[in-house]
Amino acid sequence: ASAAQPADSRNAQQILEDIFGYSEFRSGQAEVIDHTINGKDVLVLLPTGGGKSLCYQIPAMVRDGTGIVVSPLISLMQDQVEQLREAGVKAAYLNSSLDQDDYQATVQRLQEGHYDIIYVSPERLLQRYFLNMLAQTKIALFAVDEAHCVSHWGHDFRQDYRSLGQLKQRFPDIPVIGLTATADTTTEQDIQVQLGLDNPLVYKGSFDRPNIRYRVMAKYKPFEQIVTYIRQQDGSGIIYCNSRAKVDDLSAKLHRQGFKSAAYHAGMDADERAYVQRQFITDKIDVVVATVAFGMGINKSNVRYVVHHDVPRSIESYYQETGRAGRDGLPAEALLLFDEKDSARVKQWIDQGSMADRNAIELQKFAAMEAFAEAQTCRRQVLLNYFSQFSDTACGNCDICLDPPRPFDGLETAQKVLSCILRLQQQAATQYVIDVLRGKNLKRLQEAGHDKLSTWGIGKDQSDQYWHNIINQLIHRGYIRVDIASHAMLRLTEAARPVLKGEIGVELATPRLEIKADKPAKTA
Ligand code: ADP
Ligand code: ZN
């Protein structure tokens, strides 16, 4: 609070009503605010739109002194400060966008105790002269927004966030409140350690986004799948790819098909990126094809779908990225194109990483992502369980709930595939195996004499996509292994032997092949 106002003149409830115009706190807010006002450390985990800002803004106004808010994004700082000023709060920001005079004037007023709230970038805050200056200033609290940035385990690590642990050492009596939309336990614990929070209250809200429908499809011909999919959509969407090259390629191809699409990745210059973002926000373009660089700070509430062309490396990333859909609360969709080969490649990349202890955790994280993609039970349950929000009822708004897997006796089908792989000396990749199964008259098959194999054409009655799906199921069940080190050839595992001999049964799920037109989603 500013020096002019005695601390007890305004309480939290009054501020909520008078300044923010709301009548009651959302669940969790009151408890968090109460703790912070009482000078205790707090960690708040709430999804985007959950109402984190009030959790530090109100205590900053109630407590004596100025609330110092660390925020990584200049644009967000400016928005927040503008809104606060409009509501009559004494707020300002300090970052590289200010010229020297404004900067000095703001610092001066800060020292005089003029402000309720100051937003500051981590690199400014951590400058020695700035910390020394703060030591002479009355501080209400430190708020660390986007607190997951302090953690290597988070999806957006920032080096200058790492040093924020200094705050607690230097100002042990000032409460620190960390806030993030990240929910996983590893990151949560790391934030506590890195910020040096002292026995904090950890408040974790619900991470469910009931209006988002989760769907996973076997990635088969991704370009065609994506075109079919976005033709069925009204409104705008984001397509995430795992490399800049893929982003450029897919975006160009979509453009050629007549879609209003644009690319976005960190290899483009800042102006170009800002332009694409603006075009998207103002609905001039419908589709942004992007890497993960398209993310934090994108404030568009009516994104109707998010497609993952490639599997993300963790559920946290997946959750953050899909969370950009449907912020307006209206029905939205998250579609993941999943391929066992992608998955094997990701594991190989992680394995080749340089830090062994880190690789183990990353592998664990990826295993959870894989489990989500391969789940035969409600996807939302898998997701929420990962965030330790156990739920025992199926959601009714994911592909599994809407179209449950239909099992069939798959022994004969499995035998066709496994014996075909065996006849090919385990020297062929998926598409080649499918070509033989379907008996395609391709020159390279004939030249290799593979049209003479006993398994030639035994799968004629089904489509490529059908066999693709079956092969993925067999990989998932552990009968087939993808040998990434040698051209993704399919190899049989020990477990395949009893199947080939017919000694055990194999239950498979009937492949879902086409992308069905959207049914209206259940709303929250
Ligand atoms: P986050 O930072 O968690 O993404 P915000 O703090 O921006 O979320 O809040 C999201 C929206 O919810 C804002 O429009 C905010 O004004 C509103 N909001 C926050 N708390 C309340 C409340 N107690 N009652 C009504 N609306 C609220
Ligand atoms: Zn479900």
Start-to-end C-alpha separation, the chain? 38
Nearest ligand to the CA atom of 383:
2
Task: Please name the residue whose Cα sits nearest to atom 12 of ligand 1.
Answer: 51
Which whole number is the average pLDDT over 418-443?
A: 95
Which atom from ligand 1 is nearest to the alpha carbon of 25?
Answer: 23
Q: Count how many residues are written for the chain.
A: 524
Asked if residue 51 has its Cβ within 6 Å of ligand 1, the reply is yes
DSSP label of 425: T
Which has the minimum average pLDDT: 1-5, 7-11, 477-481? 1-5
The residues placing their C-beta within 5 Å of ligand 2, an ion, are: 378, 380, 394-395, 398, 401
Ligand 1 midpoint to CA 323 (Å): 16
The model's pTM is: 0.76
If one compares 128 and 393, the residue with the highest pLDDT of the two is 128
Does the pLDDT value for residue 166 go beyond 90? Answer: yes
The pLDDT of residue 517: 43
If one compares 452 and 1, the residue with the highest pLDDT of the two is 452
Distance, in Å, from the CA atom of 302 to the CA atom of 322, rounded to the nearest integer, reads: 13
Ligand 1 midpoint to CA 184 (Å): 22
- In contact, 279 and 285? CB cutoff 8 Å: yes
Which whole number is the average pLDDT over 71-77?
A: 85
The pLDDT of residue 296: 66
The pLDDT of residue 192: 96
Does the pLDDT value for residue 292 go beyond 70? Answer: yes
Which atom from ligand 1 is nearest to the alpha carbon of 181?
Answer: 3
Does the pLDDT value for residue 132 go beyond 60? Answer: yes
- Residue ranges of E strands in 235-286: 236-240, 261-264
Burial per residue of 215-236, b for 16 or more beta-carbon CB atoms within 10 angstroms, e otherwise = bbbbbbebeebbeebbeebeeb
Residue pLDDT, tens place only, 304-345 = 999 999 999 999 899 989 999 998 889 999 999 998 889 888
